[in-house]
Amino acid sequence: MIAGPSAERATAALRDCRLCPRDCGVDRTLGPAGAFCRLGAQALVYKELLSLGEEAALGGPTWLVDVGGCSLRCLFCSEWQFVVRPHQQPARAIDAAWFAQRHAQRKVQGARTLSVVGGDPTPSAPGVLAALAQQADPLPLVWNCNGLVARQAWDLLDPAVAVWSIDVKFGNARCAERLAGARGFDMLGAVDGSVARALGGPRYPGLPRLIVRHLLMPGHLECCTRPVADRLAGLLAAVPVHHAVVNWMTAYVPPMDRRSRAPAAVGLSRWPDAGESARGIAIGRERLGPMLVVDGR
């Protein structure tokens, strides 16, 4: 079984926050000033629901909890407003009473796992872990992140996480910087390190240890999809199929606001055509074989 989280250590981490490679080093217990994620001490949830849309490998409904804030600024992010303004309504703080009530309700409704997502939830890890620590029989935790999990966050999260779900969006540093603002740190190295560390951690019975997601983006098959497939094929070559799942996602949605007019977003303001999606899936199947699923199935 997965060990419980350390709420005390999680709170202490906020006083010198280095949870992601932004390495802000600010005291978030005093508020969000200076934090790239724009978060203070509280984890802020803006949406929660019982979901049947996650990967089939999770074995059934999951309690999906969306939290605000992120360590990236992806121009195509579907949750942009809650990434850049995590405190706006309907966001509310995740407190112990609210979390306990919703946790019990979703379990009765059939939830088999708890999937925390964003934005990126890693900056919110202390608040989530503090609430989770109050549950006598917590749902297995699925941590849906962008792979930018610094050592401080990894040490807090890994004992509590049953399944790491890591988005690998880019196949090169140029696209990562241009489309997600990943300037000044080794994003690709950080993601590769997170994938490798996840595979070395504890496993929860009946669940994969790792889910890797890659979004097929228009115009990025050769610069991103193919290199990602090659990298994952190398990282996962010796991994049993039931320990890891790679999910190629085809539901890209172009941004419809001013981001679509930014020079960096040229080419992203359209839907992928059927031919692109088919070619992207073929690349994944060629390199990843039976480990690959498409849109979670």
pLDDT in tens, 231-255: 999 999 999 988 999 999 999 999 8
Q: Is 2 contained in some domain?
A: no
In a domain, 207, yes or no: yes
Q: How far apart are CA 120 and CA 102, in angstroms?
A: 21
How many CB atoms are closer than 10 A to CB 114?
A: 25
In a domain, 118, yes or no: yes
Predicted local confidence at residue 7, as pLDDT: 62
Residue with tokens 């966050």: 153
The whole-number average pLDDT for the span 80-105 is 96
Domain containing residue 202: CATH number:
3.20.20.70
Number of domains in the chain: 1
In a domain, 199, yes or no: yes
- The whole model's pTM is what? 0.95
Q: Which domain holds residue 92?
A: 7-294
∠ CA 129-198-99, rounded to 5°: 20
pLDDT in tens, 129-181: 999 999 999 999 999 999 999 999 999 999 999 999 999 999 999 999 999 99
